[in-house]
Structure 1
Amino acid sequence: MFWLLLIIGLLVTTFTHAQETVVAGQVLNISDKNPISNVNIRFRNSTKYVQTNDEGFFLIRYTGRESKLIFSCVGYKTQEIKVRPGQSVGVQIEMMEENTLLQEALIIPGVNPANDLMRRVRLMRRINDISQLEGYSARSTEQNLVLLSKINQGSISKRIFEQLKTGNLSKNDSSLVIPLYMAESKYELTVSGKKQVSQNIFSSPESGKMLLEKLVGQMSTELNFYENTVTIFGKSIISPLAGIGNSYYNYYLVDSLNTPTGKQYEIHFKSRNPKNLAFNGRFRIDSLTYALTEIDAELPNKANINFIHNLRISAKYIAQPNHRWSCDTEDMALNMNYELLADDAHPRPEVFIKRTSKYSISNTELFHAQNFAKSDYDQITLNSKLDDLNNTPLLRTAKLIANVALTGNIPMGKVDLGNILQLARLTNIEGTRLTLPLKTNEKLWPNVAIGGYLGYGTKNNTFKYSAMAGYKLPGKKKRVINLSYTDDYRRIDYNYNNFLYHENPLVTGDEDISTTLLMLWSGDKLNPRKELNLSFFNDWNSDIESALYLRANKLYANSKLPMQTNGVDIPSLQQRSATFNTRFSFGERTYENHLQRIYIQNNKPVLSLTFEGGQYSVGDKTGGYGKLMSAVKQYIHFDYGEIYYVAEAGYIVGKVPYPLLEIPMGSEAGGYGIFRMNIPVQTGSGGYSMYQYNMMRYMEYAADKYVNLQTEFAFNGLLMNQIPLIKHLNLRELLSFKLAYGSLSDSHRAVLDYPVFMQPIKKPYMEVGVGFTNIFHLLSVQSVWRLTDTDKSGVFHWGIRCGLNVSF
């Protein structure tokens, strides 16, 4: 083949001028040598490209001096070759498939996420195989077509097969085949088997009729991939869903899709050995039930089966009540050299076979009677994904890491240690602060949790503490009552109502071990507080939940949070409030960890609406106020990466002391080369908190009407993958943009004087960051610029921000 391509390349030189580069060739899959269509081919720094045809052939002309030719295709690793400018050559390129893993899946050391999903698919396959349900009844209509090619030529045979597979045989190509057999059969299907009720043979010459009927009859008329094998021509081909599938297949989790019936995962599978009777292809599964929703499978041409050199099967499934999926259509196409049909005119005839089946369920009431609800599938969730591997040290460690990553707690029998971020911190007030946080789990009381923490500061020799109790009311919906009391130090800009922020268990919004170990600095901006909180959570449905908070907080003044009225010191601020928050999501999965809810975010927005009404007492002044707040966050995946954004808006009614204003969360790290490291709010979203303005100082701004926006753009190596040597590091580009804007009335000064370091946002605050992530699959670095109010004293115009960032 290479010499043929070389000759083609030499021939085309007669049609080129001296400086034109001409490359002709074919692109093949390195594993099975099958041609790859729709491969993009271009010279570097050129916007013009060509694509390979159905047989993988291409021809590209170029008049520039660039020598590098780039081959790229979705699902394959990009390749480059060098050609001499002004020459004409023929090439054969072999491309390797690329394993692209789903962003959202949980990282478990030593475990392929696709294999983990496959384990859950296998655990559910007996439940999802509706043909095994008692009372199952269906009808199927099967159409079989057998054609004999008049011309035994590879390119023509391939074209006919591809058209036959899609059911669109062109008029020109139909004249190149002879219809040997066409039949339609109807069947009744039950648990006990399959019964033919009618058959119509539309056309078939007498020659070979009986042989072809036998040939078609040997095809399995029920391609059930939930079984361990699919039987065709008496040969058992291992199903990709088989219990022994890992011995025959490599699996790759490549995509997640939002469909009208919910989220689905797409898994590609590939035979470990092309000689085995195992398929290559892809299938999709429903994320709730792990049931098949569609499958495309192809037997490798090198498989140890006689006569057949193409076998492709596809099936689509349709959603039924109670999370059931039934087969809707099946298509099977193959072509073969069947020498038993040979005659003088056809010494080695090419036979094409196409079978199409359409199914209809006779008794859909069966699915209502089964009453399979979401709870039937909850047993196979994140918590049980490693149950069958718990005896291995690696997987015990992996389960511990997974539990900490999801919940922030370390299980210790009937008690959890955590939140782990509270274990230690370093602050100027307390010095080294050591904390013991404990909480009971479901092993002690399924519906009750009691816990808290005790912390000791070595510098001020002071104990601080918190206590809580929670009770989950009986019923299927989540209804939880919590009561807590805290006496501790907090960041002076701590926001009690930042609910979308606080729902991540690895982000406290306060000074913790992450700020000490990762930011490499001692916390400075804190003040003492006492907080009493009573809350009630209620689920309205799977997408809407609400919470009511009754708070009584006392904030004590210090040098970092001064409280004065006309220059007279005020010792404390008392606040009493009722807050009602409602959270809206769309098809988002959740994970229940005792009384704690963990959110597995999808690609749809999450909305939060909050109403607060309260009273305050500061010195001899009292007053009332109201707050209306909204927030939305979302991941958006696109071809070259992802976007993550958080947008907030709010309005405060009435006069309030300044600690109750909207205060954007700032940063005390310096600029000009000083590194700062944060735990990311969302895995894969970037290396620092989406809710923090990295070049803004603590309490630098305040507002009573405001809008805030934080965005991050993470690309999949769009530029880094093109740089020699650097591309082998698998770096990914990272951009960020943050904005805060609002207004502030002077009327609030009547309650408390504004501190000298706080002011209104007179013009939109903006900062932008540029960098890259996936350094050692762990770190990210951004160069961040402050764009507004850069002439102020004590602010940094620029800084380097380094963070932890783990993503697929």
Structure 2
Amino acid sequence: MIDFQKKSFCVLTVLIFLFTLQAAAQSTEISGVITNIKDRTPIPYVTVLFKGSKIVTKTDANGKYTISTTEGYSQLQVEYVGFKTRYLPIIPGKVQVLNIKLQEESQNLNEVNISSNKKAPYRNKDNPAVELIRKVIEHKPMNRLESAKNVEYQQYDWMQFSLSNLSEKFKNKKIFRKYQFLFDQQDSSEIGGKNIMPIYLRERLSKNYYRKDPEKTKVIILADKHVNFDQGLVDNNAIGNYFERMYADVNIYDNNIIFTNSQFLSPIADGAPAFYKFFITDTIKTSKPALIELSFVPRNKNALLFEGKIYITMDGRYAVQNALLKTGKGVNINFIRALEVKLNFEQDSLGKFHLSKSHLLMDFGVGADGGRGFKGERTVIIKDYKTNVVQPDILYKGESMVVDPQAENRSDQFWAQNRLDTLANEKVKIYHNMDSLGKMKSFKRMMDVASFLFIGYKKYGPVEVGPIYTFYSFNSLEGFRLRFGGRTTTDFSKRFYFDTYAAYGFKDERWKGYLSGAYAFNNKSIYTFPQSFIRASFQRDVDIPGDGAKNIIPEDNFVSSFKRGESNQFLYSDYYRVQYMQEYSNHFSFNLGFKKWTQTAAGSLVFDSYKDNQIVRTDRVTSSELSLDLRYAPHERFYQGKTFRERLIEKYPVFNLNYAVGVKGLFSGQYNYQNIMGTIDKRFYLSQFGRSDLRLEGGYIVGKVPFPLLDIHRANQSYSYQTYAYNLMNFMEFVSDHYVSLNIDHNFNGLILNRIPLIKKLKLREYITFKGLYGGLRKENDPNQDPALLQFPVNGDGVKTTYSLGKLPYIEGSVGIGNIFKVVRLDLVRRFNYLQNPGISKYGVRARVQFEF
């Protein structure tokens, strides 16, 4: 009996063992990573199942999955909203690693269709998706970065800019035969097409700190590496800032997200339910915490809105764990054919979700999607995220951003060890490629030609000749005018700079010219930020009093030669100037200066006054003044050329204050006076209602001065629209010794036209402007009350053409349509008062070339 039991037990044990082996042999286990075929980034929460079964799993936040079965299924099914479903063969009964790449659907994300006999209209009321997004909006304050008392983290980001959608024919052109090493091939389904040519790469590694009370931020740039272009054509630091502005940081918790010059409404903005349609498209219970997939599309496809999906945590925090934001083809933005943003979040020690990775892709171009253009991308990686680590107060002293002195000198080994994105390691060859390109003679010649055409200067050793657009111009005083000039470069000296030109008018038969010399204290170009130099100059040339273009176009040029109406009052001006310029890294600057200015009337302009009822003609007016210019532009970024600086207009204000003192007897100065003038410039972003650019300006002159030294208000007698001039005011029409002005230019960004059938396809934009000027003359400076003063000019009929403002302000406004052919703006301008003045127009049409995204 015992032997039988023992035998039975042994047999049973063997059977169980064999059954276990058989079951193990038949078990199928699949694991791997699922990525986007375009950029090889992992895709979270992808649905993975054995085809024909109910055995389902989801990828985690890093795109990893594992699924197993004992059944004999032979296909794996992979599906994800917005991507093509894939079916992959598998071997039953085997343990396999299967890494899968998904391709996006070619069409844009559309509304979710609900099958029923009658399709119900979309409503916010009693809509669970809208209720969910309202919960997300309600919980934004607790999920933002600013909700923590102290935060610190390490950030690595790289930006790349490439020529895109290049055909094989283009690639194999004769001009590129020596440059084949520049081209990269990628999957044809990716944004930018199969052939791209990288032309710019920038990497940065930084340490970031945030303190809530009192609120302070600190960014320490530890390392900075970027492609260096020929300095003759572009400014390397400035182009990096320009690209960085285009690929701005994306904070989905902000109500508005700014790309280039356009402001998009976030899908979780406070007012998002009024502009978006929301749909619950999936629940992901395999994730911890569980997630709800919320898809959204814009109500108006032409508005600056996204389409895509966000994943919301179901743990009561209603935080965003992942997001995909895209733009549709109908969005009213120029040159951007596609835009895509992916955001990934991770939980910190407090359970809050913080941004861990963002990836932005943009496709720029003028034509259709398949045409040549530019591809831009930026990836930001955040690591070592810590909360509530208190740092000493001294950390936040000084500038909010500081750069380590060795930031741009880090070794290749340093970068290899500190790049937080493995994909960037594949892009290192771009630095070598651009360096090799810069050493090729043929490329240098090409850059030399490009510099001459776009900047206007031709380099000859240590000097440059130009600018080309000033070589020929004309006006009624000088007739045909020729000009020739040049300047030294850093090849001549990094301390000393010289600039000069000579011009000749064939009608007035006079020579004009300019000569300046400067010394840079910081051993850099005098135009390099932050500026620190002293300069002395002499200039003899022709001015038009009150010409608004002179405040915008610093040099004469062919385009500004065309004027409307009568323009025959000129000045021959002699300027002697000395200035000391000092700029600081916080964008505060001061300019100490001395100017002696001699004005001689020319054309039909005369300097006449009365003494004992007799006309006394004065040949010239001479003033000598000392001045102090103060400027503060917090967080300012700009693109800087060799002789100009183009401010990248953002939300931050710019303050200017100028104080000048005229000293009688100083270098033949004839007048004592004080002149103070200030401006405030500010851009206001109004989300879906567009943006407004505002300038508030005021000035006051203390002392008795002739009208050439008064504030001659900026006028425009050209056919182009000028933002900071009065477009229906004549030159020298109004003068003041005290004034205040307000200038508002509002861009609706297609708010109205985007809703009109057929018209909306043109992607036009509406503008409205208001310009008001209030001021006047005190009795001591009014020639109408004091005949001993220089009298206001008169026209050919003896009628005065210069006035002071009365009790009413001068007002003009305009309505305009922009984005015509993507580059033209037309304004219908209306002048509302002072219509009795001679030679004025109540209405006028003005045009300008205006590039906007």
- Aligned match of 1:563: 607
Contact 1:36 1:54 in 2 (8 A): no
Bigger shift: 608-617 or 691-700? 608-617
**Are 1:281 and 2:330 matched, yes or no?**
no
Structure 2 counterparts to residues 616-627 of structure 1, below 5 A: 622-627=670-675
Secondary structure of 1:124's counterpart equals strand
- Aligned match of 1:552: 596
How far apart are the structure 1 equivalents of 2:751 and 2:583? 42
- Aligned match of 1:781: 826
2:105 to 22, 31, 35: 31
Structure 2 counterparts to residues 476-555 of structure 1, below 5 A: 478-493=531-546, 502=551, 507-508=553-554, 512-516=557-561, 524-555=568-599
- Aligned match of 1:458: 506
Shift of 1:606: 0.6
Shift of 1:623: 2.9
How much is the aligned-residue C-alpha RMSD, in angstroms? 5.7
- Aligned match of 1:124: 203
Shift of 1:365: 13
**Are 1:373 and 2:404 matched, yes or no?**
yes
1:721 to 736, 740, 754: 754
- Aligned match of 2:475: 427
Are residues 541 and 366 of structure 1, via their aligned partners in 2, closer, same or farther at CA, if it must alter by over 3 Å?
closer
- Aligned match of 1:741: 774
Q: Which runs of 5+ in 1 are unaligned?
A: 1-26, 40-46, 59-104, 135-153, 174-239, 241-248, 256-265, 271-279, 285-291, 299-314, 319-325, 330-357, 670-675, 678-687
* Residue identity in the other structure for 1:295: K
- Superposition TM-score, scaled by structure 1 size: 0.54
Contact 2:581 2:589 in 1 (8 A): yes
Are residues 49 and 451 of structure 1, via their aligned partners in 2, closer, same or farther at CA, if it must alter by over 3 Å?
farther
Secondary structure of 2:731's counterpart equals coil
**Number of matched pairs:** 526
- Summarize deviations over 1:666-691 as a string: whole Å, max 9, x none: 1335xxxxxx13xxxxxxxxxx3222
- Summarize deviations over 1:604-646 as a string: whole Å, max 9, x none: 111001110013589x994300011111112333324322222
How far apart are the structure 2 equivalents of 1:513 and 1:769? 27
Secondary structure of 1:747's counterpart equals helix
Bigger shift: 155-164 or 742-751? 155-164
Shift of 1:478: 2.8
How far apart are the structure 2 equivalents of 1:408 and 1:449? 18
How far apart are the structure 2 equivalents of 1:571 and 1:759? 22
- Summarize deviations over 1:94-123 as a string: whole Å, max 9, x none: xxxxxxxxxxx99999799x99xx979954
How far apart are the structure 2 equivalents of 1:371 and 1:791? 58
**Are 1:295 and 2:357 matched, yes or no?**
yes
How far apart are the structure 1 equivalents of 2:790 and 2:706? 5
How far apart are the structure 2 equivalents of 1:786 and 1:644? 20
1:572 to 598, 607, 620: 620
Contact 2:514 2:538 in 1 (8 A): yes
How far apart are the structure 2 equivalents of 1:667 and 1:660? 19
Are residues 783 and 597 of structure 1, via their aligned partners in 2, closer, same or farther at CA, if it must alter by over 3 Å?
closer
Structure 2 counterparts to residues 86-101 of structure 1, below 5 A: none
* Residue identity in the other structure for 1:752: L
Bigger shift: 595-604 or 720-729? 595-604
How far apart are the structure 2 equivalents of 1:446 and 1:386? 25
Structure 2 counterparts to residues 388-787 of structure 1, below 5 A: 414-474=462-522, 478-493=531-546, 502=551, 507-508=553-554, 512-516=557-561, 524-566=568-610, 567-590=615-638, 599-615=647-663, 622-640=670-688, 641-669=690-718, 676-677=719-720, 688-748=721-781, 749=783, 750-755=788-793, 756-762=800-806, 763-787=808-832
* Residue identity in the other structure for 2:569: K
Are residues 666 and 170 of structure 1, via their aligned partners in 2, closer, same or farther at CA, if it must alter by over 3 Å?
closer
Are residues 361 and 552 of structure 1, via their aligned partners in 2, closer, same or farther at CA, if it must alter by over 3 Å?
closer
- Summarize deviations over 1:189-234 as a string: whole Å, max 9, x none: xxxxxxxxxxxxxxxxxxxxxxxxxxxxxxxxxxxxxxxxxxxxxx
Contact 1:38 1:54 in 2 (8 A): no
- Aligned match of 1:17: none
Shift of 1:761: 0.7
Shift of 1:480: 0.7
Q: Which protein, 1 or 2, shows the higher relative CO under an 8 Å CA cutoff with sep ≥ 6?
A: 2
- Aligned match of 1:346: none
Shift of 1:724: 2.8
Contact 1:786 1:796 in 2 (8 A): yes
Shift of 1:493: 2.3
- Aligned match of 1:164: 290
Contact 1:736 1:770 in 2 (8 A): yes
Secondary structure of 1:554's counterpart equals strand
Secondary structure of 2:593's counterpart equals strand
* Residue identity in the other structure for 2:727: N
* Residue identity in the other structure for 1:637: Y
Shift of 1:451: 1.5
How far apart are the structure 1 equivalents of 2:647 and 2:545? 28
Identical pairs, percent? 21
Contact 1:627 1:652 in 2 (8 A): yes
* Residue identity in the other structure for 1:795: I
Contact 1:720 1:727 in 2 (8 A): yes
Secondary structure of 1:623's counterpart equals coil
**Are 1:802 and 2:802 matched, yes or no?**
no
